[in-house]
Structures are given as C-alpha cells and as structure tokens.
A and B are shown apart, each in its own frame.
Chain A
Amino acid sequence: MSPSPEAPQIPQPLLRNLIRMLRTPEAIDTNFEILAIEVFKFQFTHNIPYQNYCITHGRNPENINHWHEIPRVSTDAFKVISHPLITHSPASTLRTFHTSGTTGEIRGQHHFPSLELYKQAILSSWQRLSLAQPTTLVFLTPHPEHAPHSSLSYMMGVLAEHYAEAQIIWAISEDGTLDLDKIEPLAELTSPVAILGTAITFLHLFDSISIPLPSGSFAMETGGYKGTKRQLEKAELYALFSEKLGLKPDCVINEYSMTELSSQFYTRGLNQPHTAHSWTRTRVIDPRTGTDAAAGESGHLAIYDLANLYSVSAIQTQDIAIAGEDNSFTLLGRDPTALPRGCSRSADQALG
C-alpha cells in the first residue's frame, strides 16, 4: 500500500543514523560531514520554501560539498507563517512550538511531525553533563500541558520523565504565577534538589525566598533578559544563586537554545564556553564581512543542528558570541538591535 499523502515523510534510514549519532556523542567528524549533507539533501527535497531560498543562493545538493556551504536561514524566517519551514505536509504536524513575543508581535513557529529526535537530543545533551541524581526536581516553568507550544516546557517535561524516580514539582501555576507554597517546603529537604527555570523566574524567586539547598543540589537557568524589565550580569545572578540557594557557581548550569533549534548547549559556572555536540557545529560570523570572525573576535552565532531534521539544520542567530575550540562558543548575549525574544521574556510577562 502506498503511503497516504498526509503521512509524515520521515526518512527512516537517515533518522536511524541520526539517532545513533545522538546516542553516541563521541562519533567522529566524518559522520557529521556525511550526515550534514544527507540532511541537507532531505531538507532541500522536501522543504520547498527552503529549497526556493537555496536556489536563490545558487545552492543545491549537487554543489554542496561541505557543511559550511549549507545555506543558513535567519531565525526570523520561522516567523514567515505563509511559508512554513517544514519537510512534511502541514497535516502531518504533530506539535508546533512558538517563540515568545508580545501581543500583536509575529511569533516564530517550529513544526515537528515527530518528537523522537528532539527528545533524544534533549536527553543526550543533558546526559553529557554527568550530573548527580537529584531526589527532587523543581521546574520553574509551566507544565507542558499548560504550555503546549513552549519548547522550553516540552524540554522540562522530557527531563521530568527522565527523572521518573524523583519527586517532581511544577512551581508555575496554570495562570503563569510562581507558586511559592511549592518552593518553601524545600527548606525541609536533606537530599539533593535540582531546580530548573528561566533566569528571570529565578530573579522573581530570589525576591521572595532564601532556602539553602542540600549538598549535591544544582540549578539550571536559561534565557536572557532582553525585553524584560530586569537586567543582571551573569556574575551577579550567580552570586544570588549562592546567597539565596547556597549554590556555588559550579553548581549552576546555563542552557542556550531556542525554539528554532532542537539541540541545547550547556555551560557550567562562570567564564566557561558552551559546548557543542557531535551532531552540531557552530560558527561565529562577522556580519560586516559575512565570513567567520577572526579568532577571539565577536560575531553572530550560526548553528548547524542535525537534530533539526524536519525544518532547517543551518540557523543564523542574532546572538553575539566568540568562537572557541571544538565548536564551543562563549556567549556574549543577544544583539541589542535585535527584537526581544526568548523564554525569559515570556516568563517575565507572566510574572509581572
């Protein structure tokens, strides 16, 4: 029986190879090169808006020989709702994640016909951190059921499933407010706690509580402050983690990702770069020349994320970074001229 036109066009061999790569992060570089071009061929063939874009750049599967040559789309291209960046029919979309934004602002959309690869990327990235097993996890984000279009909530949900043995606390109520009644009992705990949320939600939390967490605890914060009412240097934020939760900087992890990606990049403590994975590559582009920024110089971060199989793997961000070794990067922040975006912003709007 031939497949229905509405059936997801998931390329099973390519998907299997990608999942194998995601499960073995030490995979050698040649695998990335081969798979990056395979993914480009798939996306060029099935993602027609992207194909049209590539054609205007004179690019097609016949003349791409290196992952550097794969045309990058801006994150703003995900806001072009009339031409969604999808490799499948719209009817096959299983889940759509939206970027945050104010009322009336156009939000980016990232459509997925399957979440298997996304889920594997979340778990593989997380497991590379080699964190101690917490007995309690507190999520300072809405429960995925209350925020079905939030990629951050989805990621938190995947982590909650991963720690099925632990006590799970969702501390943001359905109306988006921080429920301190769920946080205060943490003071009674004696075994390790993990607390995960956006930087801006942590700031709201620190306005109200001071609870030294048990030894072995850690926190994960994500998102910046652009477009919110509050600003804080990372060192100042991490000083608050120490003061309010008793967590030294090495016990605080920063996550960098965005709705337009499927993979996450982590760094631990202060003054450390974000590390890449075997299935991702990064470049720092000097927008004045359109070429790679000189060593040690800042530019705009470009990410090649093979877990973005169902949209576009090559994403040009407006985040400013300095390239490091082995595809790592030191994030300097959101370009001030770019429109506000990010998870922290939606959290701030909810928290007031």
Chain B
Amino acid sequence: MTTTQERIQLLGEACRHRITRELLGEISETELTDWVSAELGHADALDIFHPHGNLSSKAFAPSSILHIVSGNTPHAALQSLLRGLVIGSNNTIKLPSLGLPDFEKWILTLPAELSRLVNCHSELTDDILHPADVVIATGSDTTIADIHSRLLPQQRFIPHGHKVSIGIVTEDFYNAARLAAKDCSLHNQRGCLSPHAIYVQGDTLHFGEILAQEMDNYCREDPPQPLSLSEAGAIQNLRQTTQFIAANDPLTHLWQSEGNLHWTVILEPDSTLKLSCLNRCIYVKPLPAKITTASLGPESQYLSTIALHPFSTVAAESFSHLPAHRICPLGSSQQPDLFWHHDGIAPLASLIKWKDIG
C-alpha cells in the first residue's frame, strides 16, 4: 500500500518519459498533487479522514478498474491509466486488436510499485470484464453499447462514445491556419478531440487556401502513418464526390495533396457539421451569425471540444451555450489539460467512493 504522495512521486518520474511528454505534454508532481486536491478536496483525501460538514470522510479508490481503450487514441489510453494509478487502483487494460505500441512501451518503463498495478489483455472476456469495480470504455457507440450490455448491475460504467470536435476562427488567419493544421493532423485526426471542421468568420476561401498550405507544411514535418485500404478508400471517395460537387458548384472547393492521400481540405458553403473521414481531411465552413445546435445540425449533439482562435475567456464563454464540454485555444485541442473534465465528467472524482464517520 502506497500513499497518494508516494504514487505521485513515482508517476512524476514516469511523466518525464518522452512518450508521456509527447502524448500528454509536461506533467509535474506539483500538478499531480494539485489535480488530486482539486478533484477530491484534499491531496491526501485517499489517505486520511477529513472534515466534511458534520462528518469526517475519506475517499476510497475502486479495487480494480478496467480500461477498454481504442486503437486510434494512445493519449486517451495513457490519460485513463494515469487516473487509475494516481488513485492507486489495480488497472486492467483491454488493448485494441492491433495494440498500442507507445502506450505499451510506457507501461514497461513504470517502476515496480506501479507496474504491479497494471496488466494488459487483448481479449475482452467476461473473466476480465466482470471482476472490475469500474469499467471505462472508449470507442464507437456500437462498441460502448455492446460492453454496456455485458456489465453486471453493480459495476460502475464510464463510457466515452462517439464525439466530434470543431475549430472556430474569427481573425488572424495565418496563425490560425498553422494551429488548425496541427490540431487536424496530430494523431492522424483519429481522436475525438480532432477537429472535423474549421468554422471561419470572414473569407472562407482565403482561409481554405492558407490552411491547405499549412496542412502541406505540417505533412513535411510529420508525414501521416500508412493508410489501410478502407481508410484510403474513404479519402478517395470523399475526394471524388467533392470533385463532382466542386465541378458544379463554384462555392465548393477542394485542395488536396498531390500524388498521395496525405491531406485534404474541403470548403463547403453551408454550415452543417459533417463528419470527416479523418486521416487529415478537414472541412472549412462559414461561421453562422448565430452558432447554435440548429445551425450546426444533428452532429453538434456529439460536440466534445471547440478549439478557438484567437482565444480569450470572454470569447470562449460566448460559445459555451453549445453542447461541447471543452473550449480551448486552437492548436491545443489534442492536448487537453490534466485538470479537464473528460466528456464533462470529473475523471478522478467519478472513480472513487467515500466512507463517512459521524
């Protein structure tokens, strides 16, 4: 049994590893301590009883957490495990069929006190599913529904299903395009924090041209991973269909990487949010005068993150009526802060239970 502070010291060291820094950014022991304190009221809430109104209360971590992680989001898998480790639970990881190489490498770097809390499996059998006190699942709505149907009544379920993110640009197009290219390209756009569309106030055609150039620039620095037949087919289909529309509608434009499928930018005149086929395919759309769920259409109910440029708290609050749980600066949509409420859920507080005295 380790104390929270002991685990934080060990995790602080693990967070200095290259893989953590690349996937989650810099995380210090102080931040980890502040994070526990912010979520649970006290940094040692899991270790001792603290006054809680007329009572004294202590937080208890679940004995075991099952993390069902998806193949497209290694950073989400790392984040989920970090949460389970900081509260001291045993963590079972159900890996995707093709594995998560960076994530698995990171687990191997953990000190013995932490690595004994982690075990990985490639199959989701009931023998793995049913002993877990808490099941955290990331995946498509179909996957989530399937897992949910297999749970026992006493198991706590934290689903992270289908989500979609967008960018909003109101001025400063050149910087905005560079930041948007990063958000749309990182992790090959395969995460739920990846923007599918950039909504632009002003000259959308001009922004589309600049974004296309920045997508190309980003590609030179960080070429995309090889595509599967299906992924390539989806891009070819999107390009062919858009070429047909653009040939007949002067308000639709297509920019694409030459001779390969590395990136695609599509300007459409209507504001309805459409899902991209991912792998660095991004829509540019006009920002409606009144941006609402009605003006964005039915996909807006799945909004996760709005990445804004230029960012200010005041500007961000003006979009807080939308269903997204996070509004962040453009360029950081794929790297959420340690303290963020994942899909609106407090990620540590949602895991623990309390014991009261008095």
Measured CB to CB, the residues of A under 8 A from B are 49, 52-53, 55-57, 72-74, 76-77, 80, 82-83, 104, 286-288, 290, 298-300, 316, 318, 320, 335-338
Given A56-B247, A316-B240, A338 and B229 contact (CB-CB distance below 8 Å):
no
A288 touches B229 (CB 8 A): yes
Complex contact B241–A338 (CB within 8 A)? no
Other A-B pairs beyond A83-B249, A287-B237, A287-B261, 9, CB < 8 Å: A74-B241, A76-B241, A83-B244, A286-B232, A287-B233, A290-B236, A300-B233, A320-B229, A337-B231
Q: Which chain A residues lie closer than 8 Å to B235 at the CB level?
A: 287
Q: A83-B248, A287-B236, A290-B236 are in contact. Are A53 and B243 (CB under 8 A)?
A: yes
Q: Which residues of A contact B237 (CB under 8 A)?
A: 74, 76, 287, 316, 318, 338
- B residues sitting closer than 8 Å to A (CB atoms) are 227, 229-237, 240-241, 243-249, 261, 277, 298
Contact between A335 and B230, CB atoms less than 8 A apart = yes
Q: Is the CB of B240 within 8 A of A72?
A: yes
Contact indicator B248/A53 (Cβ below 8 Å): yes
Are B236 and A300 neighbours in the complex by a CB distance under 8 Å?
A: yes
Chain A interface main SS type: mixed
Given A49-B247, A287-B229, A288-B229, A337:B240 Cβ within 8 A: no
From A56, A287, A300, B246 is in contact (CB under 8 Å) with: A56
- From residue B311, how far is it (CB to closest CB) to chain A in Å? 33
| Whole-angstrom CA separation of A125 from B56 in the bound complex | 80
Distance between Cα atoms of A286 and B243 in the complex (Å): 19
Contact of A338 among B227, B234, B245 (CB under 8 A): B234
Residues from chain B with Cβ under 8 Å of A337 in the complex: 230-231, 233-234, 277
Chain B residues near A80 (CB, 8 Å)?
241, 244-245, 248
B244 touches A49 (CB 8 A): yes
Chain B residues with Cβ under 8 A from A336's Cβ?
A: 230
Contacting pair B240 A73 (CB below 8 A): yes
Pick the residue among A74, A77, A82, A299 that contacts B249 (CB under 8 A).
A82
B50 CB, min distance to chain A CBs, angstroms: 50
CB-defined contacts of A55 to chain B, threshold 8 Å: 247
The answer to whether B233 touches A49 (Cβ under 8 A) is no
Point out the residues of chain B lying under 8 angstroms from A76, CB to CB. Answer: 237, 240-241
Residues in B whose Cβ lies below 8 Å from that of A72: 240
Top 5 closest pairs, chain A to chain B, by CB: A52-B247, A287-B232, A287-B233, A76-B241, A288-B232
Task: Give A335 to B236 CA distance when docked, in angstroms.
Answer: 13
Give the chain A neighbours of B277 by CB distance below 8 A: 337
Given contacts A83-B249, A288-B261, A338-B237, contact A73 B244 (CB under 8 A): yes
Residue on B with the closest CB to A77? B244
Known A-B contacts A287-B232, A335-B230; the reply to A74 vs B240 at CB < 8 A is: yes
CA distance A73 to B229 in the complex (A): 19
Within the complex, the shortest CB–CB distance from B283 to chain A, in Å, comes to: 15
The complex places the Cα of A53 from the Cα of B247 at a distance, in Å, of: 5
Give the CA-CA distance A288 to B226 in the complex, in Å.
9
Can you list 8 A-B contacts (CB < 8 A)? A52-B247, A53-B244, A73-B244, A74-B240, A287-B232, A287-B235, A335-B233, A337-B277
A52 to B240, CA, bound (A): 13
CA distance A286 to B247 in the complex (A): 24
* Distance, CA A57 to CA B246, complexed state (A): 12
**CB-nearest residue of chain B relative to A286?**
B229
CA distance A338 to B233 in the complex (A): 9
Q: A83-B248, A104-B298, A337-B231 are in contact. Are A77 and B240 (CB under 8 A)?
A: yes
CB distance from A308 to the nearest CB of B (A): 16
**B residues in contact with A318, CB < 8 Å:** 233-234, 237
Chain A's closest residue to B246 (CB) is A56
A320 to B277, CA, bound (A): 18
Q: Are A52 and B234 in touch, CB under 8 angstroms? A: no
Q: Which residues of A contact B227 (CB under 8 A)?
A: 288
Instruction: Give the CA-CA distance A55 to B248 in the complex, in Å.
Output: 11
Closest residue to B239 on the A side, CB-wise? A74
Are the C-beta atoms of B243 and A56 separated by less than 8 Å?
A: yes
Tell me which of B230, B261, B298 has the highest count of chain A C-beta atoms within 10 A of its own C-beta: B230
Nearest A residue (CB) for B233: A287
A316 proximity list for chain B (CB < 8 A): 236-237, 240
Q: Are B233 and A74 in contact (CB under 8 A)?
A: no
Q: Would you give the shortest CB distance from A215 to chain B, in whole angstroms?
A: 43
A140–B235 Cα gap in the complex (Å)? 36
Report the bound CA distance from A298 to B233 in whole Å.
12
A-chain residues with CB within 8 Å of residue B247 when the two chains form the complex:
49, 52-53, 55-56
Expressed in whole angstroms, the Cα–Cα distance for A286 and B240 within the complex equals 14
Chain B residues near A320 (CB-CB < 8 A): 229, 233
Are A298 and B229 within 8 A (Cβ)? yes
Distance in angstroms from B258 CB to nearest chain A CB is 12
Give the distance in Å from the alpha carbon of A74 to the alpha carbon of B230 in the complex: 15
A288 CA to B235 CA in the complex, in Å? 9
Q: How far is the CA of A66 from the CA of B103 in the complex (A)?
A: 51
CB distance from A13 to the nearest CB of B (A): 29
Tell me the bound Cα distance from A193 to B66 in angstroms: 54
Q: Who on chain B is nearest to A289 by CB? A: B232
Contacts of B241 in A (CB 8 A): 74, 76-77, 80
Q: How far is the CA of A288 from the CA of B231 in the complex (A)?
A: 9
Please, which residues of chain B bring their CB within 8 A of the CB of A300? Answer: 229, 233, 236
Q: Which residue of B is nearest A320, CB measured? A: B229
Closest to A57 in B: B243
Tell me the nearest residue of chain B to A50, going by C-beta. Answer: B244
A87 to chain B: closest CB distance in Å? 15
Contacts of B244 on A, CB cut-off 8 Å? 49, 53, 73-74, 77, 80, 83
A316 to B241, CA, bound (A): 10
- Rounded to whole angstroms, the CA-CA distance of A62 and B261 in the bound complex is 29
Chain A residue at smallest Cβ distance from B226: A288
In the bound assembly, the distance between CA atoms of A83 and B250 in angstroms comes to 13
Q: Closest Cβ of chain A: how far from B255's Cβ, in Å?
A: 13
Decide: A335 and B234 in contact? CB cutoff 8 A. Answer: yes
Residues of A within 8 Å of B245, CB to CB, are 80, 83
Min Cβ gap B345→A in Å is 29
Residues of chain B with a CB closer than 8 A to A335's CB: 229-230, 233-234
| Min CB–CB distance A227 → chain B (angstroms) | 11
